[in-house]
Chains A and B, each alone.
Chain A
Amino acid sequence: MVPTLAGVILLVFLLFKFFGGDPSQILAGQVASAEQIDAIRRELGLDRPWYVQLGIFLREILTFDFGKSWMTREQVSDIFLTRLPATLTITVPILLLEVALAIPIAMLVAYYRGRLLDRVIMAVCVAAMSISFLVYIIVGQYLLGFELGWFPVQGWSDDFWRNLVVYAPLPVLLATLVSLAPQTRLYRSFFLDETKNDYVRTARAKGLSEPAILRRHVLPNALVPVLTNVSLLLPGVFVGSFLLEIFFSIPGLGREIYIAVNRSDYPVIQAFTVYLAVLTMFINLGADILYRVVDPRIQLR
């Protein structure tokens, strides 16, 4: 983990140092005098050799202090912490809903495997996956929010419960609908993989009914790959909803980083990238440990 983390920091540093624009020019704009540019260079440590700059970058990461955003002069760490709750309000319900819905649907489809219902649902899934997420959002926002008025078109407040009940439902609904198709397809294959195992044949041989086999024997075993899949989805909880946040004006992390990209606000992008990579690594570590608990056959190296 430590080498990987070092690699992430190095990658982000090199990317912005050698491929990015000169920060002093971005900061000062086109009409800056030479003294102004020099002042900024001194402030950011740009007049020092690159390894000193890398040291500064490391210190910023370790002390959780990336200084101020270039554009809004807000503390970057404040931006990170104040935008996180809004993102989680959207993404956690999405994750819970999509897993909770995809498992029963996938089980149903696996039960009818090869028959008409299975093939119809799978064809619908392929077609649904071919339409861009954007189209779902645009049409959903227009139809359900604007035309029918069932949900507010966009907005956000300071009250968690009000956000969850009033503003979150439409984005959550749309995202769940979109992710349902790929999840169902994937979980169906997990169930079908399990049904090929010997223990299923044994269960059939002793006369168990097919639904009972699926529920009591296949389901617990198929939950192991489902868990893998959920752990892969977990990092997306933090920025995965950036499109929803942009469309529905939700002040979350994803929207913030999109704005930062448009403004070339490097400290914000760097900080978010490094911290979310660290979070991702911890989530993966947690998932690995969890497997060990769920499936004792897995050995951790």
Chain B
Amino acid sequence: MAAILDLTPENAWSALWRRLREDRAGAVSLGIVAAYLFMILFAAAGILARGWSQEVGVPYANPGFLGERPNLEAALRKKTERKGVAPDLSKVDPLAPKYSEWERRTQALRTVEPERAMTLPWGGDRWGHDVLAKAIKGSQVSIAVGVAAALCASVIGTLLGAFAGFYGRWVNDVLEWLYNVFTSIPSILLIFSLAAVLRSGPFANWFASGIWTVVIILAVTGWTGMYRLVRAEYMKHRSREYVLAAQAIGASATSRMFVHILPNVSHVILVQLSLLVVAFIKVEVILSFLGLGVPVDMVSWGTMLSEAQTELVIGKWWQLAAATVFMAIFLTAFSMLTDSLRDALDPKLR
């Protein structure tokens, strides 16, 4: 017999999913964010944008739709390459006797100059990298940094907030003190101090390559907001009946904190987490622009923008446009998704 009245309460996550799909703006932004995630996965797996660091085009190659535009930089480069005959210095040059030997050794090696395209789909940068591939790879790095840093900051903030809110008393006092210390230093100064220390300190070699420096800097400076929210939630929840009931049947403090209360405050954490992702991506872009972010052998939206500044003056706008558009679309979609998420998670609002 088919159940006509299904009285089992709807699972919280499937309810969230249903409400998200019903919200048109939420569904569209979810689709865009999902598309970005697939793009990142493909880029990370090496299917997309694998050759972003290869010089596939002439310097500042024009975008495909602007093929006829004169490209002075590429022409200039060709000219100087042809003219490059060095004057005869063999009388004064102490290395002169070695040249013939070096010449011979060079003969043994063959360098293949690949065919450089005059135009690329979305233009090329100073070295002839494909800007579109760079933008895709840059999305991967920027979003990965933002998400990883937001996760780390959330873990720190949630743990500390849970302890402060659940235990109260001296634990709360100590953690509140820590919170006050971290929030009374302007965040940009904390970021700069950490960057200075991590760049020149004993750990500099650990972090020299990779995105971990930025992730650590952002996580250490960004946990305070999450801590405050989670602490307030735990203070509210710790004396609720379901927690007292759990205590009565012998649930340990750890179990009450993370098995019973945590799922009930997870919506707060989730929304704050997505707000952090947006904020951290913006900061990462600025740090990478300043040279304090991702290492030089990687590309992010920030490093693209730092190249774009000089390119714009000579009229090469496409790298700026690519980085801006990729970033703006993702952040707009993600912010709208966060708004819908908040509405969907808390139907009592509005």
Residue numbers of A with Cβ under 8 A of B are 3-4, 7-8, 11-12, 15-16, 19-21, 26, 126-127, 129-135, 138-139, 142, 146, 235-236, 238-240, 242-243, 246, 254, 257-258, 260-262, 264, 266, 269-270, 272-273, 276-277, 280-281, 284
Asked whether any CB of chain A lies closer than 8 Å to the CB of B66, the reply is no
Asked whether any CB of chain A lies closer than 8 Å to the CB of B201, the reply is yes
Supposing A19-B201, A21-B204, A127-B332 touch, asked if A240 and B196 sit within 8 A by C-beta, the answer is: no
Q: Is the CB of B194 within 8 A of A15?
A: yes
Q: Is the CB of A4 within 8 A of B180?
A: yes
Distance, CA A21 to CA B198, complexed state (A): 8
Q: Is the CB of B286 within 8 A of A130?
A: no
Q: Is the CB of A138 within 8 A of B196?
A: no
Q: Is the CB of A258 within 8 A of B290?
A: yes
Within B330-345, the residues touching A (CB, 8 Å) are: 330-332, 335-336
Tell me the minimal C-beta distance from A36 to chain B in angstroms. Answer: 18
Q: Is the CB of B335 within 8 A of A130?
A: yes
Supposing A21-B200, A246-B290 touch, asked if A281 and B184 sit within 8 A by C-beta, the answer is: yes
Tell me the minimal C-beta distance from A142 to chain B in angstroms. Answer: 5
Q: 9 other contacts beyond A272-B189, A284-B184, with CB at 8 A cut-off?
A: A4-B177, A7-B177, A130-B335, A132-B282, A138-B305, A240-B186, A260-B196, A273-B189, A276-B189
Binding site of A, secondary structure by majority: helix, strand, loop or mixed? helix
Q: Which 5 interchain pairs have the tightest Cβ spacing?
A: A7-B181, A130-B331, A21-B200, A264-B200, A130-B332
B186's partner among A15, A26, A239 (CB-CB below 8 A) is: A239
Asked whether any CB of chain A lies closer than 8 Å to the CB of B195, the reply is yes
Q: Is the CB of B292 within 8 A of A19?
A: no
Tell me the minimal C-beta distance from B225 to chain A in angstroms. Answer: 12
Within B123-179, the residues touching A (CB, 8 Å) are: 177-178
Q: Is the CB of B305 within 8 A of A132?
A: yes
Q: Is the CB of B312 within 8 A of A235?
A: no
Interface centre among B188, B302, B308, B335 (most CB of A within 10 A): B188
Supposing A4-B177, A4-B180, A257-B192 touch, asked if A129 and B286 sit within 8 A by C-beta, the answer is: no
Q: Is the CB of B188 within 8 A of A146?
A: no
Distance, CA A273 to CA B185, complexed state (A): 7
Distance, CA A269 to CA B292, complexed state (A): 15
Jot down 16 A-B pairs with beta carbons below 8 A, ordered by A: A4-B181, A7-B177, A7-B181, A15-B194, A16-B197, A19-B203, A127-B328, A130-B330, A132-B286, A132-B327, A142-B312, A239-B186, A260-B196, A261-B192, A273-B193, A276-B185
Q: Is the CB of B308 within 8 A of A138?
A: yes
Asked whether any CB of chain A lies closer than 8 Å to the CB of B190, the reply is yes
Chain A neighbourhood of B195, CB < 8 A: 261
Chain A neighbourhood of B313, CB < 8 A: 142, 146
Supposing A127-B332, A264-B200 touch, asked if A135 and B324 sit within 8 A by C-beta, the answer is: yes
Distance, CA A134 to CA B304, complexed state (A): 11
Q: Write the chain B residue with the least CB distance to A253.
A: B189
Asked whether any CB of chain A lies closer than 8 Å to the CB of B309, the reply is yes
A20's partner among B201, B330, B335 (CB-CB below 8 A) is: B201
Chain A neighbourhood of B267, CB < 8 A: none
B188's partner among A3, A135, A139, A239 (CB-CB below 8 A) is: A239
Q: Is the CB of B199 within 8 A of A264?
A: yes
Q: Is the CB of B286 within 8 A of A280?
A: no
Tell me the minimal C-beta distance from B223 to chain A in angstroms. Answer: 14
B202's partner among A21, A131, A270 (CB-CB below 8 A) is: A21
Supposing A132-B286, A138-B320 touch, asked if A239 and B189 sit within 8 A by C-beta, the answer is: yes
Chain B neighbourhood of A129, CB < 8 A: 331, 335
Q: Is the CB of A139 within 8 A of B320?
A: yes
Tell me the minimal C-beta distance from B340 to chain A in angstroms. Answer: 12
Q: Is the CB of A280 within 8 A of B186?
A: yes
Asked whether any CB of chain A lies closer than 8 Å to the CB of B212, the reply is no
Chain B neighbourhood of A266, CB < 8 A: 196
Q: Write the chain B residue with the least CB distance to A278.
A: B184
Distance, CA A129 to CA B323, complexed state (A): 15
Tell me the minimal C-beta distance from A272 to chain B in angstroms. Answer: 6
Tell me the minimal C-beta distance from A226 to chain B in angstroms. Answer: 20
Asked whether any CB of chain A lies closer than 8 Å to the CB of B294, the reply is no
Tell me the minimal C-beta distance from A71 to chain B in angstroms. Answer: 13
Distance, CA A272 to CA B320, complexed state (A): 33
Tell me the minimal C-beta distance from B197 to chain A in angstroms. Answer: 4
Q: Is the CB of A4 within 8 A of B196?
A: no
Supposing A127-B328, A242-B188 touch, asked if A12 and B196 sit within 8 A by C-beta, the answer is: no
Supposing A19-B203, A277-B186, A280-B186 touch, asked if A134 and B286 sit within 8 A by C-beta, the answer is: yes
Distance, CA A40 to CA B158, complexed state (A): 44
Chain B neighbourhood of A235, CB < 8 A: 186
Asked whether any CB of chain A lies closer than 8 Å to the CB of B289, the reply is yes
Interface string of B98-138 (1 = CB under 8 A from A): 00000000000000000000000000000000000000000
Distance, CA A135 to CA B304, complexed state (A): 11
Asked whether any CB of chain A lies closer than 8 Å to the CB of B301, the reply is yes
Tell me the minimal C-beta distance from A144 to chain B in angstroms. Answer: 13
Asked whether any CB of chain A lies closer than 8 Å to the CB of B285, the reply is yes
Q: Write the chain B residue with the least CB distance to A21.
A: B200
Tell me the minimal C-beta distance from B330 to chain A in angstroms. Answer: 8
Interface centre among B192, B193, B291 (most CB of A within 10 A): B193
Chain A neighbourhood of B328, CB < 8 A: 127, 130-131
Distance, CA A16 to CA B194, complexed state (A): 9
Within B281-313, the residues touching A (CB, 8 Å) are: 282, 285-286, 289-292, 301-302, 305, 308-309, 312-313
Chain B neighbourhood of A284, CB < 8 A: 184
Chain A neighbourhood of B185, CB < 8 A: 8, 11-12, 273, 276-277, 280
Distance, CA A270 to CA B197, complexed state (A): 11
